[in-house]
Amino acid sequence: MELLVAIAIGVLTFSGVYLILRARTFSVALGLTLFSYAVNLFLFVMGRLHTGKPAVLSDATSYTDPVPQALVLTAIVIGFAMTAFVLILALRANTELGSDHVDGVEKAKPLKKPSKAANKTVQAKKKRKGVAR
Amino acid sequence: MLLLALVFAPFIAVLLPFLVAQRGRTAIAVSAALAPAIGLALLLSQAPQVLDGVVVAVSYPWIAQLGLNLSFRLDGLSFLFALLILGIGLLVILYARYYLSEQERVARFFACLLLFMGSMLGLVLAGNLLLMLMFWELTSLSSFLLIGFWSQQTAARQGARMALTVTGGGGLALLAGILVIGHVVGSYELSDVLAAGDVLRAHSLYPVALVLVLLGVFTKSAQFPFHFWLPHAMSAPTPVSAYLHSATMVKAGVFLLARLYPLLSGTDWWFYLVTFTGLITLLIGAVTALFQHDLKGLLAYSTISHLGLITLLFGLDSDFAPVAAIFHIINHATFKASLFMAAGIIDHETGSRDMRKINGLWKYMPHTAVLAMVASSAMAGVPLLNGFLSKEMFFSETLHQHLLGSFSWLLPTMATIAGVFSVAYSLRFIHDVFFNGTPINLPKFPPHEPPRYMKIPVEVLVFCCLLVGMLPAFTIDSLLASAAQASLGHALPEYNLAIWHGFNMPLLMSCIALVGGIIVYAQRAPLFRWYEGLPDINARVIFENTLRFLYGLVSRTLARIENGSLQRYICLLLLAVIVVLVAGLTPLSRITGEIALTPVDPLTALGLLVMTGAALLTMGFHRQRLTALLMLSVVGLIVAMVFARFSAPDLALTQLVVEVVTILLMLLVVYFLPAKAPAESSSLLHLRDFSIAASCGVLMAVLTFAVLTRPYQSIADFFLANSLLGGGGTNVVNVILVDFRGFDTLGEISVLAITAIATVALLKGMLLPRSRVDNQGRAWSSEAYPMMLGMLARLILPLALLVSVFIFLRGHNEPGGGFIAGLITAVALILLQVAYGQRWVQTRMGVRFPNLAASGVLIATATGLVSLLLGYPFLTSAFGHFNLPLIGEIELASAMLFDLGVYLTVVGGTLLILSGVGRIGHSVKLPEKL
């Protein structure tokens, strides 16, 4: 089971990090969320995997580890606050700068200004792609 | 106490000129003169004992750990300098009253002047080297303000910046030098340091300390090759030049030479460094001064030359040389200040400082002319004036040094040549300005005498020149003797201040200088042609170009490292993480530890499989945002289930509710963002990101697996044992949150509240147009609030509230608590908002969300403070069991109040964030609806 959990955390990290490295703010927010899942799970399993053990005091002889649980609980809430902040920052940046690129400017544009005709073909291409999807 | 008052009076009085700023220049000048006048009186009250050789010292501990004490020390040397600073300062204040026009920022000027005066006083009176350095830097800063006073002029700004750069750089070197001295001596107190001269000179670090201190001295006192800043500082108003470049700023460097003379002097290093720097500066200054056409330029280079002379004297290996140096400091201060003032009067009355235009002023301003001529003669070293006496001493000392061996004739020869040029430029100042034909194209014509009081400072100074020059033994002897003794640190050699010493070499040298100077001036035409032929080196242009080059270099380097790309930064950050992880994991001999693995059950395996699959799909579909979001919510849900599966019900509940809120928020945001992301990363970039992400993933998996298969020691037992006894609850997780680690939780809810308020600030004033169609071109439903949802939401709200109250109340003993209850309440209210709109909910709530969040934080803090008031540590909880009618026995803990704070903050914060995003779209929608 440990192996499975470790792999799952690894995959979550992989997809989260990959998305964090993308150039669009929303992808980065998605990545951050995935990455925080991974981190929360990682912190949580540091208390080891316990099946069916209580976290509430009772007659039981062994308990699960409450410390990482308490840490992760606040981490979840704070994580939500930070995700919300990043999202709204992205929203504001998109409104102010007219771009949702993480650097605030479109980097992929060619250095030379494309002529009107070229522009049109690009737009047409985009449209066609959109329809195809 | 007296010394403290003396130093700090000008600082305190800095504000006075602003208080009377509306009452005209006279009132401002009087208010500015108050502090120096009091200071002068205080100083003179100490004159009798100081002149007798008593050292007045006070010391208060300040930062004793650093060896920095508030020590002040008044001995002969500091008395002399303080006298010059205050005396000439008062004269400059009087002069500036008439020099500055009504339209200028007069109050500001006098405030800066007082600031500078206080810094200078602190510098000369400091009894601790670090304290002295502090005042040293203050003089650099305040002189920057004074030199750049006419900040509308480019030349003033650049001159001020140059002065600050050079003297500030020197200040850094001086700091290093002082630290070295303190390291060797073991104290920064001047009395200790001066007594440890032999220790320092024998130490291997002596040359380092000497060179560093001398760098500070030479930059401040404008010695070659750092002299270039001084002529450019002439763009300052003339009272500033008269003050800074005669008696104060530039004298700070030579003051330090005098002050540290017993500590640093007496070695070959000292002799060669100081003497030759002084000699070169003396010659360059004297020769260049002759060729300046600007009145103040001439005086500036002459100042450089005289400073070189003083430095040279300090370098010589005779006991009498420092006496001559100090004497020349006094004389130079008096005649140079009066000359600057005279130049200022001429500038003021003619509107020009160009000596090619200013001619024959004798006819128009005979009074000023006489004053300037006397001062100028003192500068040239004409007998019966003070300059003659010190120059005579100087010539005599150059004859008495022996370290150069068979080249000993070099110094007196060079000194005589410098004397020749000094006479020549003094003569030029007299002849070219007051005679030599008639004025040419003066901006103000005809010039006339300045206001009566503007000439008084000049008269006072010129009178001093005459008095000292004719009656040296009666006027200056005791002051000079006490200052020189304080500088040397031991008894003075026999000397005699007299005008006539008989026919000897120095007299001959003086005569050669006088006659030679007249000849050089008479033959100036070919000399000027030669000078014109020299390559034009403008220090300011070179300096500015160097600065520009450095700026360019730095910004280019920065641009390369810091290119503004977030992707680049994150990439570097992650690479660092990978390095750390690899370094941490490498020592492990094998990944699997000794603990046996727990068995796999198929349902969990399936869940994990779905989760990883959904995560990968989120990644794959990230450019179709809605799809990615759906996938993400799957991941979140299964994470909650994983928590539940591995015995963490609290976490599962929290994750479940947070998941709902997060996805709702993302849905709202995605509506306003571009629906799709264009593919733009190159394949190479994809490969890079892919490999970084893969490395991170693999490393995380390895790390997790390595940890999970190894035994561990937890601190959990403490919490399990003390939860019920100390915190009064059986839900250990909740007790940790609200009791054991309550301070952390307080911090965390504060962060939540702050984030919520920050989002409000970010969304402020933002209105976004709502599109009528989605990205596929389909029209949105025209129905704003679906009725079915509304009905359902109304039904759910009381139930949800009931559940949250239940979760909240049982939280201390069963899974639940403030966080979860707050989130449940928030979700119910958000559902209502989705159904009826944000405004509808807000009006019916009756309490504003920011207040809700803030009151939560306040309640939690207050709970902690109460225990503090009762004498327990912050956030100590109390609990007891109560029997309530109907409900039965219930346990109430003060921690529950704290949890209430958590609850309110979570509700307020969450709603604030979500309703904020909800509002920006509605604002546009509303008019359509009406």
> Which of A35, A44, A49, A76 to mutate against chain B (most B CBs within 10 Å)?
A76
SS3 assignment for B592-651: CCCCCCCCCCHHHHHHHHHHHHHHHHHHHCCCEHHHHHHHHHHHHHHHHHHHHHCCCHHH
- Cα–Cα distance for residue pair B923/B919, rounded to 1 Å: 6
User: What does the domain layout of chain A look like in residue ranges?
Assistant: 2-55+62-107
Residues B743 and B666 in one domain: no
Distance of CA B465 to the CA centre of its chain: 42
Chain B CB within 8 Å of residue A78 CB? yes
Residues in Cβ contact with B662 at an 8 Å cutoff, skipping those fewer than 6 apart:
A33, A80, A83, A84, B636
Q: What is the pLDDT of residues B390-436, one digit of tens each?
A: 898 898 888 887 777 778 888 889 999 999 999 999 999 999 899 88
Q: What is the pLDDT of residues B457-506, one digit of tens each?
A: 999 999 999 998 888 888 888 888 889 888 888 778 777 777 777 788 88
pLDDT (mean) for A104-113 = 55
Q: CB B909 to CB A34 under 8 A?
A: no
Q: CB B756 to CB A44 under 8 A?
A: no
Per DSSP, helices labelled H in B245-320 are 249-259, 261-264, 268-290, 295-315
* Position B295 in a domain: yes
B625, B644, B674 — which closes off a domain? B674
Q: DSSP per residue over A74-92, as a string?
A: HHHHHHHHHHHHHHHHHHH
Q: CB B913 to CB A130 under 8 A?
A: no
Residues B777 and B654 in one domain: no
pLDDT interval class at B888 (50, 70, 90): low
- Cα–Cα distance for residue pair A35/B570, rounded to 1 Å: 14
Whether the predicted pLDDT of B336 surpasses 80: yes
pTM summary value:
0.67
- At B770, list the tokens: 């709502």
Whether the CB-CB separation of B728 and B895 falls below 8 Å is answered with yes
Which residues from A are below 8 Å from B611, CB to CB? 8, 12
Q: What is the pLDDT of residues B612-650, one digit of tens each?
A: 999 999 998 888 888 899 999 999 999 999 999 998 988
* Position B683 in a domain: no
Per DSSP, helices labelled H in B56-153 are 76-99, 106-125, 129-147
Distance of CA B685 to the CA centre of its chain: 41
> Which of B604, B612, B812 to mutate against chain A (most A CBs within 10 Å)?
B612
Residues in Cβ contact with B233 at an 8 Å cutoff, skipping those fewer than 6 apart:
B143, B147, B159, B160, B162, B163, B241, B244, B245, B300
pLDDT interval class at A118 (50, 70, 90): very low
Q: CB A23 to CB B651 under 8 A?
A: no
Amino acid at B807: I
Q: How many domains does chain B have?
A: 3
Q: What is the pLDDT of residues B195-206, one digit of tens each?
A: 988 999 999 999
Whether the CB-CB separation of B888 and B909 falls below 8 Å is answered with no
Residues B509 and B624 in one domain: no
* Position B516 in a domain: yes
Whether the predicted pLDDT of B727 surpasses 60: yes
pLDDT interval class at B437 (50, 70, 90): confident
Peptide bond into B446 cis (omega under 30): yes
Question: First vs last Cα of chain B: how many Å apart?
Answer: 77
* Position B665 in a domain: yes
- Cα–Cα distance for residue pair B371/A113, rounded to 1 Å: 72
- Cα–Cα distance for residue pair B444/B348, rounded to 1 Å: 9
* Position B620 in a domain: yes
Q: CB B658 to CB A77 under 8 A?
A: yes
Peptide bond into B225 cis (omega under 30): yes
> Of B96, B111, B376, B377, which is closest to residue B241 (Cα–Cα)?
B96
pLDDT (mean) for A8-26 = 92
The beta-carbon neighbor of B647 closest among A11, A53, A78 is A53
Which residues from A are below 8 Å from B612, CB to CB? 7-8, 11-12
Q: Which helix (H) or strand (E) holds B902?
A: helix B894-929
Q: CB A34 to CB B611 under 8 A?
A: no
- Cα–Cα distance for residue pair B322/B328, rounded to 1 Å: 10
Whether the CB-CB separation of B652 and B640 falls below 8 Å is answered with yes
Q: What is the pLDDT of residues B83-132, one digit of tens each?
A: 999 999 999 999 999 999 888 889 999 999 999 999 999 999 999 999 99
- Cα–Cα distance for residue pair B53/B191, rounded to 1 Å: 15
Q: Which residue in chain A is spatially nearest to B596 when comparing CA positions?
A: A2
CA distance B858 to chain A (A): 18
Going by CATH, does the domain composed of A2-55+62-107 fall within 1.10.3720.10? no
The beta-carbon neighbor of B647 closest among A16, A55, A107 is A55
Domain that holds residue B653: 603-674
Q: What is the pLDDT of residues B226-264, one digit of tens each?
A: 988 999 899 899 999 999 988 888 999 999 999 999 999
CA distance B552 to chain A (A): 24
A100 backbone dihedrals φ, ψ, rounded to 5°? -105, 25
Residues B507 and B372 in one domain: yes
* Position B790 in a domain: yes
SS3 label, residue B782:
coil
Chain B CB within 8 Å of residue A94 CB? yes
SS3 label, residue B562:
coil
Amino acid at B458: V
Q: What is the pLDDT of residues B369-396, one digit of tens each?
A: 999 999 999 999 888 888 898 898 898 8
Chain B CB within 8 Å of residue A124 CB? no
Residues B340 and B472 in one domain: yes
Which range has the worst mean pLDDT, B82-86, B287-291, B334-338, B848-852? B848-852
Compute, in degrees rounded to 10, the torsion defined by CA atoms B332, B338, B344, B350: -120
The beta-carbon neighbor of B674 closest among A3, A46, A100 is A100
Query: Beta strands of B634-777 (E only): which ranges?
Result: none
Which range has the worst mean pLDDT, B152-166, B349-363, B687-701, B759-773? B759-773
Q: What is the pLDDT of residues B204-218, one digit of tens each?
A: 999 999 999 999 999
Q: CB B714 to CB A23 under 8 A?
A: no
Q: CB A92 to CB B763 under 8 A?
A: yes
The beta-carbon neighbor of B616 closest among A15, A33, A51 is A15
Query: CB atoms < 10 A from the CB of B805, how many?
Result: 14
The beta-carbon neighbor of B751 closest among A13, A18, A78 is A78
Residues in Cβ contact with B175 at an 8 Å cutoff, skipping those fewer than 6 apart:
B133
Q: CB A2 to CB B708 under 8 A?
A: yes
Residues B377 and B483 in one domain: yes
The beta-carbon neighbor of B913 closest among A49, A74, A84 is A84
Which residues from A are below 8 Å from B681, CB to CB? 22-23
B674, B704, B719 — which closes off a domain? B674
Residues B808 and B919 in one domain: yes
Whether the CB-CB separation of B325 and B299 falls below 8 Å is answered with no
Q: CB A10 to CB B642 under 8 A?
A: no
Residues B390 and B514 in one domain: yes
Amino acid B312: pLDDT: 93
SS3 label, residue B267:
coil
Residues in Cβ contact with B896 at an 8 Å cutoff, skipping those fewer than 6 apart:
B738, B812
Residues B793 and B922 in one domain: yes
B466, B492, B522 — which closes off a domain? B522
Whether the CB-CB separation of B725 and A56 falls below 8 Å is answered with no
* Position B503 in a domain: yes
Q: CB B705 to CB A2 under 8 A?
A: yes
* Position B311 in a domain: yes
Q: How many contacts (CB atoms, under 8 Å) link A and B?
A: 309
**What would you measure as the largest C-alpha separation in chain B, in angstroms?**
123
Whether the predicted pLDDT of B651 surpasses 70: yes
